[in-house]
Amino acid sequence: MSTIVITEFMTQEAVDGLARDFHVIYEPDLFERPGDLAKLVPDADGLIVRNQTQVTADLLEAAPKLRVIGRLGVGLDNLDMAACEARNIPVFPATGANDASVAEYVIGAAFHLVRRVFTATPRIINGEWPRRDFFSEELQGRCLGLIGFGSIARVVARKALGLDVEILAFDPHIPADDAVWQSVTRVTELTDLLKRSDIVSLHVPRLPSTENLIDSAAIAHMKPDAILINAARGGIVDEEALADALKDGRLGGAALDVLAIEPPTKASVAKFEGLDNLILTPHIAGPTVQSDVRVSGVTADNVRRVLSSTG
């Protein structure tokens, strides 16, 4: 019987389904115990991880039987993909399973930062009635720029179009004649998108080419009241440059669901202290009750398919 090691949270229903046909070792805190993980992987035929398990070349070397890796999510930056390819170990992200939840986060963050009404609560509780302080603009009629136009960005675009928002998208990897461009305006230069957008949302992986993609130079192209949203990957935004721009009034606001250091240290986020035009959340745009069911189910099916077909 094939063995599957699961190192992070997966819905119990999906775990139980796999356990009916495979020997399953499910320890959702195993990612915190790399020594214990190293002892378990030599017998593993399948490995299921989220984004905190570091699947290194050394870990793969210790897993001679490993035939498949399931990723409970879509990012692959915690996996040594070159080492996986060298071993011919297929990696299956749960593509599409959390698109809706991330898209809702982006739209919700845009609403929050444009209207900023939710910050009124403590002042009203304190007996104030600060109506003029919360006089804001509308989201409709704004221009939303999407950097990267993969599956999540396309769901964001579809939802935003229903709010009468103009959509620009930049993605040099998608041909100009692709049908996905029919409902949005394709932009061929990143600086053009940054200059025209009221809201900029990032939808690219973290790669050497995208690290600090939004740096001080990029921010200089943006409107001084523009909003930046990153629910993609930490490290794509130069956090020092962003904090400085927010403090100096060179950006209207930002929402970061991902950070360069996760989990952050007190020192790594000290730069953001005192900013009331910033939303920080702990990498929770993708996980919801509903998306966890979808992500777990898709991942279980992917791993099951490989192990069942290879014996």
pLDDT digits (tens, 9 = 90+) for 218-244: 999 999 999 999 999 999 999 999 999
> Pairing mode, if any, of strands 227-230 and 253-256?
parallel
Q: What is the CATH number of domain 3-97+290-309?
A: 3.40.50.720
- Helix/strand/coil for 49: strand
Distances from the Cα of 245 to the Cα of 6, 213, 229, 241, angstroms:
41, 15, 14, 6
Task: Please confirm, yes or no, whether 203 is among the known catalytic residues.
Answer: no
Per the residue annotation, which of 142, 154, 283, 294 is the catalytic one?
283
Helix, strand, coil tally for the chain in percent (to 5): 40, 15, 45
Catalytic residue among 154, 206, 233, 304: 233
pLDDT at residue number 310:
62
Asked whether the predicted pLDDT for residue 311 surpasses 80, the reply is no
Active site residue 262: yes
Phi/psi region, residue 75 (left: phi>0; alpha: psi -120 to 50; beta: rest), is beta
Q: Is 233 a catalytic residue?
A: yes
Q: Where in the chain is the domain with CATH 3.40.50.720?
A: 3-97+290-309, 99-280
CATH of 99-280, one of 3.30.910.20, 3.30.1510.10, 3.40.50.720, 3.30.1300.30: 3.40.50.720
Residue 46 has pLDDT above 90, yes or no: yes
DSSP 42: G
Q: What is the pLDDT, as a whole number, of residue 256?
A: 98
